[in-house]
Amino acid sequence: MHREQGTGVGDQMISQVQTAVVGVSGYAGMELARLLLHHPRLKAVPPVFLGRSDAETPLTALHPQLMDNNGAASLKVEPFSWELLKERDVEVLFLATPHEQSREWVPRVLDLGLRVIDLSGAWRLKKPAHRAVYKFDDDGQRHAVAIQAKAVYGSPELHRDEIRGAELVANPGCYATSAILGLKPLTAGGWVDLARGIVCDAKSGVSGAGKAPTEKTHYMYAADNLSAYGVFAHRHVGELLEQLDLTDEQIVFTPHLLPIPRGILSTIYVTFREKKTAAEVEQRYREFYAESPLVRVFAAGQLPQIQYSVRTNFCDIGFTLHNDGRRCVIVSCLDNLLKGAAGQAVENLNLMCGWGEAEGLA
């Protein structure tokens, strides 16, 4: 990595870095490719795109929307190999791969001295009880425990300083990002009456289920429909519990499938321990996110909508406080493929390289 004085690792900013992406064929992978190709810091060093196919494929054959006049048409998705990572001097590797693949590959990637931003759920969870939903074969083994200890949960708003020096960043889940950012200022401040419980009712567009077609993401099922799923069993619940310091009895999280391509809206219901004014609640959010350029706090009583944040890298947060000063409804919206996945991954890259957190994003 080429370094200059700044705020990166060791008080230096990385001026140039070679990135690579594995898993560019999916929706989040496509958005990640688009963001990296247009990132102002990476114009001289386009990413290396790697796939699990045995043959090269033109990037724009997979994603024609990435065609531009700056050379994207010449880029290939090449067969993955460990030797190729060395030959191309890759320094930061993005894994937009299935959870099991990331779990298998990350140990070797770290052994090669690369830094990793993993978009899967392979390394997000510290507690074995929460990881059990993934049924990893190596869970509890010595090497997995050591790697898990290195992993930093990649929420810039919560772990900005740790991300800067991380070897392994575990990018958060999309639902988890929306719910955690909506709740963290309140739970961290001890405002919420946890004995009354928290309810998070979240809805996501169909792209949140990934590119592989299933019966429930089929047009004839999803169109003109709204359905709940993963009740008391969604894999993102563990992220909420760990990042918000809650127990399973203190929150109910229910995801729903919306008949739209992308976007998440989380409606969160809390009761405060003591009466608050709307001005106090708004001030709490604004102070908590004062240094977070990709969180937009709405004025008291104004609520976000998916259409405001979709195809942006922002998480929008608003609330309405009941006249009793204790019951509060928070609405948190984001694009599941951007702030909920690829955009947040690039935000983490910016922090790891000592660049502006929102560079190439806002």
Give the closest residue to 298 by CA, choosing from 314, 312, 322, 277: 314
Q: In this structure, are strands 315-321 and 251-257 parallel, antiparallel, or unpaired? A: unpaired
Residue 203 and residue 268 in contact, taking contact as beta carbons nearer than 8 Å: no
104, HSE (Cβ side, Cα atoms, 13 Å): 6
Give the closest residue to 116 by CA, choosing from 86, 65, 152, 84: 152
Distance, in Å, from the CA atom of 336 to the CA atom of 123, rounded to the nearest integer, reads 19
Q: Which residues contact 205 (CB under 8 A, 6 or more apart)?
A: 258, 260, 261, 262, 263, 264, 306, 336
Q: Which residues contact 198 (CB under 8 A, 6 or more apart)?
A: 183, 192, 246, 250, 251, 252, 268, 269, 270
Give the closest residue to 182 by CA, choosing from 98, 108, 266: 266
Torsion over CA of 189, 194, 196 and 200, rounded to 10 degrees?
Answer: 80
Task: Give me the helix-helix angle, 174-188 and 237-244, nearest 10°.
Answer: 20
Cα dihedral across residues 133, 134, 138, 139: positive or negative: negative
Catalytic residue among 174, 200, 328, 353: 174
Known active-site residue 174:
yes
Per-residue tokens: 184: 């963290």
Angle at 41 between CA 34 and CA 170, to 5 degrees: 65
Q: Give Dmax over CA atoms of the chain in angstroms.
A: 64
Q: Which residues are catalytic?
A: 174
